[in-house]
Structure 1
């Protein structure tokens, strides 16, 4: 009956399109009766439906060798080709369309048929369960395992980890309480036994550091989202495929473990693979080169239904329009704080909030259909919007509502999946609001550093109060005037490298071997450290001293790192765990010569990002350091699993918790031989990864 209903709706759709589109016809040149035309439409719709059901999956399997974005564009043309074939199968040649029209007709028919089938199927749990049971049986036969009579739901449970990128603990609680996320509210307050707790990030409160540790057990020597490595002259950026691959390699070498997902795992939408065989939108794997080294099988669940690409394309266009409208309203109302949101940003936002979400959710559903043991997926939509609209903005709240609908879909599939699934929600960091450093003080951190070094800065920066004070400090330190535009840079010295990671700044001197000391910096630029430490937009600095070891500097204070304590002194406002986080980063081989953390206002929760972001993360201060962990009943408590006393501190502790939960469900995992870990490296000229030797 469902098949007949879908067929009838498809027939009506084809008739409607034939009446609207002049280049699409279902009649002979001499005209036909209404009955004859309806018969022709039914024949064409049936042929197209059969081709879509039988040929399309095989076609997609064969084309998974091409890049996913290319396949996404090909979907429309391939679907249109199937329609042309279906029209040729109509007796007496009554169906005809030009290629461009065929693409449009096929897209509309696929979307309508998929929507109708879904609407009918979700009301028939028995049919849904039978389909999943068949898929589970196929998988068991393929891998040579046996299951229970109910489709395997009596076996060990699988685990799905869903990372809501950038969603802080307090933001999640408020969204659930305000009705924005009813699925999450049901888990928290609906008697399902779920528990919610915050955890503390490392000093580097960003996805690169957090997710690397969560998936691979270590984020040692990841001081920020981007940093400079002197020995190679390389700027490492967590969002670059080559850098992500190298970070993954280093973590595997350090831990002697392939990752959290090495046993029947899937990694979806992440920066790192976690050791999974099944991958989709995994950044580190995008750097792999060579035949057979870039599997795209993880995209099959999305492309197996051609209507997915149609819905995604329409939603993409709608999201671009939504962003343009929202940014225009904010500009007209003169909302503040505000950053520029033009250029390519509407398309970047639409990719994060639509394409990435759709592909990842489809892949997760496919993983549960297949009965995989462990799945880790990252949904980045909120993080992207909150950076530009603010973490508490209405724009960001709308994204949370749409994410909750994705969670509801995953929950529904979990209830019908061929094995029991435990769904764990977590985040990698939060976000802290606030006007940008440049918006507040009129110059960037880089310009402030250059002014403090006596180097040329843009005229606009020279005219600011901060720029003027910096040049006055240089003049006083050098005991002579410094003219505008004069370069106090001696021959042979390179410019300092200034990088930003949210409200965390990193300053490196490339021509000083190793980590520069405070004394070396003072000899070169006697006004620099004082200028930075005394600036109202700076919370504190970390720098190495030859006399006292590493020290923390700020306005009116200097504390040896060994004496640093939470709740007092320069880090009093930054909360528990801040002192240990700074001490840990100080041990990293690639810690910057000067680490700069922006100010933090405890009363408002505001920080000043050194990037163009009014919702930021990357350093210490406020909600950015308080992500969350939400887990179902029956699992070992996170504190017990991690061996912690009062709270989870650091992403490596979260890895221990998730690994414990997987061991509880599936038994102990076999330790991985570090010599047997296959770590792919970039092997094309010009794309080499520093330190990757095989």
Structure 2
């Protein structure tokens, strides 16, 4: 054996001995603290004997955790991933009881409840010790890389060799901070909430920050589909009604997401941004990646596509990760209950109800999803993958309910920054250089809900304008989010795909909400309804909507003038004549006219598109959903996400030959072009994937990874 191999073996042996020693000391300490946990016979033993029993028990528990735990997790693939997180404590405690049974003369004993506590503490301490030792040893990371790469090559037969000398072209990691607007990120960095980002954009900065402008539909479905697949054509909102099928498409529902992804691939003839050795983590869409974890569109598929859930099991295969995340989950539930109670006692405004299942949904988004996605990204970097795109939804979920500028949301930003810091630290040890790009899909605009201000929902207002009965008590429009549907999938709960919102007669209008954007469709009118048809059938409807103080403007088709925008006081402007800063679009700023014109060309644009009012002085809008931080339409910071990229990459705008000095990126499709160009600069031409090539959906690599913290 060469000297290098002897040193490697010796280093590994030292780490095992250190972890074993720390685990033994932990077990001795717990035996002294917990009355129902003992490491000696009833008649008492010498200190040496007790130490021997602790060492034996710690060694047996560590061996069982290394050998048996991954098998248990793999055997529980049929169990909902969310439930698996709850089973972690009991499974881990059972392994400890087995380990104690193996101690000589049966000197180790604990009741089941105490065993759960002891196992949780020992797993966390052993994992922390092992990680700390590995971080200090670059060779440990390189050996980890080699094992992952070898496993991947054996499984797929397509993996490339990995250069452990960092001689490869750099890889790229795209981290999407869902819902974080440009101004929110800049302020958080300036105030010290996000020191990692502040370091990137401060004096002598390594990165550059710029805003970009969303399409009219300023939400994850439209933006991420455009970013990952190069087209968000015919995505008028987060949810919309399709008359030819009678279905309501919802961006965060698996079957809808899969269909939208299919349509984009057909339109672009390209599998997506991540087709060359890519990984998609925590996203709505795959981007053409062959490595998937927690990808919503894949949850609607049978067979291999279902393996996108493997990200949960890869993470939970380390019992310490599972214990840490479960404890953080409980802490986050308690934190939300305390924060919502405090807001209610202070009578903060605006405020919405945050009870029911919301504390658990928030904990899933801010803890479980974050930990699993960050761990998967770290695994991708160890494996030397060329391109990784990951979405962290924590801020978006909290800002919807607490407000985009609330203390609750600020604390989430601080924790997200710590996750970024971990990824940056890991990048120092990976065998290839990684360029880390930070971006968002949209921002959020604050404001009281439409129902909260006016005492009725958009649906109630539409029914009143149509002369239909309206409930005496306003019915709140339920808020939906990616996190909510992801929780249902993790629990194996069905997600309804049909037009459940429409329970009345066919002549009744279907009213859907996407933040401060409303869509009204009449299912008994073939094709797109015309203004003249609606005026004959419901003479008061359009006038009622256009003159309501909570509504900014309407978009509707006219038989005489083509599509028109309607506003207060009888304002009516043909779409072809729209100009920024004029008429009903005046408050909405630059780009509004072009965004409306583009959406007007979509086959599935609603019969009536309704955008809420926007106050430029306060930046507030009125969401048609139960959200005090919203996005989905025009108005304020929701349309102003950000792009943060290393200076070594080309400028996203200046590289366009026709770019003006004050030019900016407009629309998610342009962002896709920029990201694809950056991948070409780093790794050479990207190989497009054929539409049917996505059937080769990969599985997330398992193994023990550092937790997101």
Q: Same fold (TM over 0.5)?
A: yes
State yes or no: 1:596 paired with 2:610: yes
Which consecutive residues of structure 1, in runs of 5 or more, have no partner in the other structure? 463-490, 681-694
Of residues 603, 622, 638 in structure 1, which corresponds to 2:636?
622
Quick one: distance in 2 between partners of 1:259 and 1:532? 40
Q: How does 1:159-308 map to 2 (within 5 A)?
A: 159-290=172-303, 293-299=306-312, 301-308=314-321
Quick one: distance in 2 between partners of 1:500 and 1:97? 55
Q: Is the 8 A contact 2:144 2:382 kept in 1?
A: yes
Tell me the equivalent position of 2:126.
113
Q: Please tell me the root mean square deviation across aligned C-alpha atoms, in Å.
A: 2.3
Quick one: distance in 2 between partners of 1:358 and 1:551? 47
Of residues 488, 499, 521 in structure 1, which corresponds to 2:512?
499
Select between 18-27 and 196-205 the one with higher mean Cα deviation: 18-27
Tell me the equivalent position of 1:509.
522
Tell me the equivalent position of 1:653.
670
Q: What's the secondary structure of 2:212's corresponding residue?
A: strand
Tell me the equivalent position of 1:535.
548
State yes or no: 1:568 paired with 2:585: no
Q: How does 1:374-453 map to 2 (within 5 A)?
A: 374-453=387-466
Superposition TM-score, scaled by structure 1 size: 0.89
Quick one: distance in 2 between partners of 1:7 and 1:643? 62
Shift in Å, 1:68: 2.9
Q: Is the 8 A contact 1:452 1:528 kept in 2?
A: yes
Quick one: distance in 2 between partners of 1:674 and 1:137? 27
Q: What's the secondary structure of 1:294's corresponding residue?
A: helix
Are residues 153 and 139 of structure 1, via their aligned partners in 2, closer, same or farther at CA, if it must alter by over 3 Å?
A: farther
Q: What's the secondary structure of 1:267's corresponding residue?
A: strand
Q: What's the secondary structure of 2:377's corresponding residue?
A: helix
Q: What's the secondary structure of 2:365's corresponding residue?
A: helix
Higher RCO (C-alpha under 8 Å, 6+ residues apart): 2
Shift in Å, 1:669: 2.1
Q: Is the 8 A contact 1:135 1:369 kept in 2?
A: no
Q: How does 1:296-335 map to 2 (within 5 A)?
A: 296-299=309-312, 301-335=314-348
Q: What's the secondary structure of 2:280's corresponding residue?
A: strand
Shift in Å, 1:621: 0.4
Shift in Å, 1:9: 2.6
Q: What's the secondary structure of 2:428's corresponding residue?
A: helix
Tell me the equivalent position of 1:546.
559
State yes or no: 1:559 paired with 2:594: no
Quick one: distance in 1 between partners of 2:98 and 2:555? 68
Tell me the equivalent position of 1:663.
680
Are residues 321 and 74 of structure 1, via their aligned partners in 2, closer, same or farther at CA, if it must alter by over 3 Å?
A: closer
Superposition TM-score, scaled by structure 2 size: 0.87
State yes or no: 1:639 paired with 2:653: yes
Shift in Å, 1:642: 6.4
Q: Is the 8 A contact 2:588 2:636 kept in 1?
A: yes
Q: How does 1:24-173 map to 2 (within 5 A)?
A: 24-57=37-70, 59-60=72-73, 63-64=76-77, 67-122=80-135, 124-126=136-138, 128-132=140-144, 134-135=146-147, 138=150, 142=154, 143=158, 145-148=160-163, 151-173=164-186
Are residues 262 and 641 of structure 1, via their aligned partners in 2, closer, same or farther at CA, if it must alter by over 3 Å?
A: farther
Quick one: distance in 2 between partners of 1:220 and 1:545? 22
Q: Is the 8 A contact 1:641 1:657 kept in 2?
A: no
- 1:319-350 residue CA offsets vs partner (Å, 9 max, x unmatched): 11111111111111111111111111111111
Q: Is the 8 A contact 2:275 2:687 kept in 1?
A: no
Are residues 328 and 65 of structure 1, via their aligned partners in 2, closer, same or farther at CA, if it must alter by over 3 Å?
A: closer
Quick one: distance in 2 between partners of 1:359 and 1:642? 37
Quick one: distance in 1 between partners of 2:121 and 2:375? 20
* Count of paired positions: 649
Q: Is the 8 A contact 2:234 2:602 kept in 1?
A: yes
Shift in Å, 1:137: 6.2
Tell me the equivalent position of 2:596.
582
Tell me the equivalent position of 1:476.
none
Are residues 296 and 505 of structure 1, via their aligned partners in 2, closer, same or farther at CA, if it must alter by over 3 Å?
A: closer
- 1:503-555 residue CA offsets vs partner (Å, 9 max, x unmatched): 00001111111110000100111001000000111100000000000000000
Q: How does 1:472-483 map to 2 (within 5 A)?
A: none
Q: What's the secondary structure of 2:625's corresponding residue?
A: coil
Q: What's the secondary structure of 2:411's corresponding residue?
A: helix
Q: What's the secondary structure of 1:637's corresponding residue?
A: coil
Are residues 117 and 679 of structure 1, via their aligned partners in 2, closer, same or farther at CA, if it must alter by over 3 Å?
A: closer
